């Protein structure tokens, strides 16, 4: 039986915790609250029951392309997403659960004129590349896309984890130490905007968190999911920033940036920060560090560089599926036509 709840049902997060590697933070009540506050998103809490017990659940978000500064929608039509889910704890009824949840999402998408729907399981799920599960989504008209990550095993002693790290990366960690690179944790939104925000903006990240966004992320985080770290030098210059979130003993790498001075002086602060996050995650009791997202077949030098950086930390290479259904194909065709035209116009005006 499928049930759809507009308010979070009792025991939602407890179910996610019992699910272990089948759930991550983007299926939590915390995430539903944060995205609702930041982007005016509408959460749908879906439970799938068998013999009176919940055996699967999914947080499906109705979202908009949204400007958090002006508090306005950039585009009037919504889209749907279910990231890190659905969460399934009963493999015997996994197909039935996915069929019911996907059918609901497709109906909802058509009712609200959504542009597209995206499903993506957590990277530690048993279903990440399951061909049978992929066929279920395909039967509903979803396209199967392939992406990848590297999962670092944190169960080993620290010296064994370090031995699996690429030799050049180990040298960069030592070089950063010799150059006097220090690392500290960012603990409040004011600190984040003043220091991490400076690095993001200087590094070319135009959409660095505003104070209002950082305040929501920090103040709603009652259980300490998110962790941000700042690298700085002897001159107290902010060099680099990195973030990670921790859920169900899995730490996931997010939000990294380098300052121009870090690039110009070739200070390996990002290597130092990444190793620091791995150690911090292990100290917190995590068994896995997820490097989070690389293109299996890099199409640009930037994608190739990202893959090269993430593979050097000795993690297990894992490919996974995500599923995408375009509900308004005409919009995709218009975007493909407009983007090169807009690029040519910008070149002429430059």
CATH number for position 18: 3.40.630.30
Mean pLDDT value of segment 76-89: 95
pLDDT for the residue 206: 63
What is the value of pTM for the model shown? 0.90
3-state DSSP assignment of residue 256: strand
Mean pLDDT of the chain: 91
Confidence of residue 213 (pLDDT cuts 50, 70, 90): confident
The token pair at 183 is 């690392």
Do the domain assignments include residue 229? yes
Cβ 169 vs Cβ 313: under 8 Å: yes
pLDDT for the residue 331: 67
Q: How far apart are CA 56 and CA 319, in angstroms?
A: 23
Mean pLDDT value of segment 242-269: 93
Which of 241, 263, 286 represents a domain boundary (last residue)?
286
pLDDT for the residue 333: 57
Same domain assignment for residues 36 and 58 = yes
Same domain assignment for residues 121 and 174 = no
Do the domain assignments include residue 217? no
pLDDT for the residue 232: 95
pLDDT in tens, 322-345: 999 999 876 665 556 555 655 565
Same domain assignment for residues 231 and 255 = yes
Using CA atoms of 306, 271, 213, 303 in order, give the dihedral in degrees to the nearest 10: 0
Phi-psi sector, 340: left (phi>0), alpha (psi -120 to 50), beta: alpha
What's the structural domain count of the chain? 2
The token pair at 218 is 């920090």
| Closest listed residue to residue 29, CA positions, set 50, 19, 44, 18 | 44
- Residue 104: count other Cβ atoms within 10 Å of its Cβ: 17
Domain that holds residue 130: 2-147+321-346
Mean pLDDT value of segment 124-147: 95
pLDDT in tens, 39-64: 999 999 999 999 989 999 999 999 99
pLDDT for the residue 344: 60
Do the domain assignments include residue 95? yes
């Amino acid at each position: 039986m499928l049930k759809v709840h507009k308010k979070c049902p009792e025991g939602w997060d407890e179910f996610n915790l019992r699910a272990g590697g089948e759930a991550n933070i983007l299926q939590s009540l915390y995430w539903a609250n944060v995205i609702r506050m930041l982007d005016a998103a509408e959460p749908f809490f879906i439970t799938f029951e068998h013999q009176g017990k919940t055996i699967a659940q999914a947080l499906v978000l109705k979202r908009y392309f949204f400007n958090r500064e002006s508090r306005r929608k950039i585009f009037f039509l919504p889209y749907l997403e279910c990231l890190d889910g659905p969460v399934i704890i009963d493999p015997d009824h996994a197909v039935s659960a996915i069929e019911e949840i996907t059918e609901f999402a497709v109906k909802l998408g058509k009712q609200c004129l959504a542009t597209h729907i995206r499903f993506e399981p957590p990277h530690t799920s048993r279903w990440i590349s399951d061909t049978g599960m992929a066929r279920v989504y395909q039967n509903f008209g979803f396209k199967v896309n392939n992406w990848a990550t590297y999962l670092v095993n944190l169960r080993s002693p620290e010296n064994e984890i370090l031995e699996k790290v690429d030799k050049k990366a180990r040298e960069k960690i030592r070089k950063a130490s010799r150059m006097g690179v220090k690392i500290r944790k960012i603990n409040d939104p004011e600190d984040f905007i003043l220091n991490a925000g400076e690095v993001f903006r200087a590094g070319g990240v135009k959409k660095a968190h505003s104070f209002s966004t950082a305040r929501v992320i920090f103040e709603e985080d009652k259980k300490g999911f998110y962790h941000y770290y700042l690298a700085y030098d002897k001159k107290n210059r902010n060099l680099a920033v990195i973030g990670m979130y921790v859920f169900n003993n899995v730490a996931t790498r997010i939000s990294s940036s380098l300052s121009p001075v870090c690039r110009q002086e070739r200070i390996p602060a990002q290597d130092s920060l990444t190793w620091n996050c791995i150690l911090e995650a292990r100290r917190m009791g995590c068994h896995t560090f997820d490097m989070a997202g690389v293109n299996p077949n890099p199409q640009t030098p930037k994608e190739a560089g990202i893959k090269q950086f993430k593979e050097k930390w000795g993690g297990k290479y894992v490919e996974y599926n995500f599923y995408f259904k375009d509900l308004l194909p005409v919009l995709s065709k218009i975007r493909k036509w407009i983007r090169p035209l807009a690029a040519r116009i910008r070149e002429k005006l430059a």
